[in-house]
Homo-oligomer: A and B are copies of this chain.
Amino acid sequence: MKRSVFFISDGTGITAEALGNSLLAQFDGVELEKITLPYIDSPEKAAVAVQTIQAAAAQDGVRPILIDTIVNNEIRTVLNGCDALKIDVFSTFIKPLEHEFGIDSSYSVGKSHGIVEATRYKDRIDSVNFAIDNDDGARTKQYDRADIILVGVSRCGKTPTCLYMALQFGIRAANYPLTEEDLELDGLPESLKPYKDKLYGLTIDPFQLAAIRHERRPNSRYSSLTQCDTEVRYVEQLFKQQQLPFINTTTFSIEEISTRIMADRGLKRRIN
């Protein structure tokens, strides 16, 4: 029996999705159909949403789950017309916060974004540009401006991690691929030596590396298990010899890699 879950928001829906997915992941064996309804920012749009929700309920033969981060009371009232289990984040937690702060909250639609966006936008763009300009060892002149420089073999996850740190946290992250030539050196490549304090290593299971490289260049030396195994062994030796902090990315998501590195190095987000 399938059951529909709706993530409903007056904004992007990203918070409702993240919270809802975390909660629902605690339930094994329940078959769920997840639907996000973002930008429900008027009673009219809420009325359309109610129709969608009721149609799903009729098809499922069981009442749906609503996980919402709607702030506005008028909109919420319309949604309350549905027969559903409602996980209602704002009305649950706003009251205790009002009591604690001793003031009323501003129950306005989409309040969590707005005024700060212009600065935030600029900082994010700067960080994204920095990550792109300093991707894959493309240049090393800007390393003095970097918050962190990720090092590791080709395709171990450096680029998406740098981009994620830039977009999510405004961190200026560069990355440098350690190639076979680099790994034959005794020590770090010259261009990295002055920035040893900013270096953070990524490593990866050789089997997974071979699978990822195989997608890019099938049946090549580059993607062979022997080659991947050798490179990973060399790179881990280098990290240990140089006493660089490093993380094995094999079982981690990009969010986890990024936040673990930041926690380990005490890097603070530049945007909120």
Residues of A within 8 A of B (CB): 11-15, 18-19, 21-30, 34, 36, 38-39, 65, 69, 71, 85, 87, 89-90, 92-94, 96-98, 100-101, 103, 105-108, 111-113, 117-118, 120-122, 124-126, 128-129, 132, 135, 157, 159-160, 163-164, 167-168, 208, 212, 215, 251-256, 258-260, 263, 269, 272
Would you call B94 and A26 a contact (CB within 8 A)? Answer: yes
Q: A87-B93, A168-B14 are in contact. Are A22 and B121 (CB under 8 A)?
A: no
How many copies of the chain does the oligomer comprise?
A: 2
Q: Which residues of chain B are near A107, meaning CB under 8 Å?
A: 26
Question: A137 CB to closest chain B CB, in angstroms?
Answer: 14
A26-B90, A87-B96, A128-B160 given. 4 additional CB < 8 A pairs?
A: A14-B168, A21-B272, A65-B97, A85-B96
Q: A100-B85, A121-B254 are in contact. Are A112 and B25 (CB under 8 A)?
A: yes
Per the bound structure, the CA–CA distance linking A97 and B84 in Å amounts to 11
